[in-house]
Amino acid sequence: MIRITVNGKVIELEHSMTVEQMLDSVEVPPNYLAVEVNAMVVPREQYTTHPIENGDQIELVTLVGGG
């Protein structure tokens, strides 16, 4: 079992996985724009290959309106 943090919430996963698999297994905000792993933006074309590992800090970045 591995432990990661997604948007400040600690989550336990059965095993290491890719960004794409992680997005399928956690609650994803419907309007997310980007995924950051350890403060580095992961390009969408790398979601199927970029690994998520124990201790990773994940941020699902969303668009917030305001003025």
Number of domain units in the chain: 1
**Residue 2 DSSP SS3:** strand
Which CATH number is 29's domain given? 3.10.20.30
Q: Is residue 23 part of a domain?
A: yes
Q: Distance (Å, rounded) from C-alpha 29 to C-alpha 20?
A: 14
Q: Which residue segment(s) compose the domain that 58 sits in?
A: 2-62
Q: Is residue 32 part of a domain?
A: yes
In the chain, the N- to C-terminal Cα span, in Å, equals 43
Q: Is residue 33 part of a domain?
A: yes
Q: Distance (Å, rounded) from C-alpha 9 to C-alpha 57?
A: 10
Mean pLDDT of the chain: 91
Q: 20 burial class (0-12, 13-18, 19+ CB within 10 angstroms)?
A: middle
Question: In this model, does residue 67 exceed pLDDT 70?
Answer: no
Average pLDDT, stretch 4-14?
A: 94
Question: In this model, does residue 65 exceed pLDDT 90?
Answer: no
Q: Is residue 67 part of a domain?
A: no
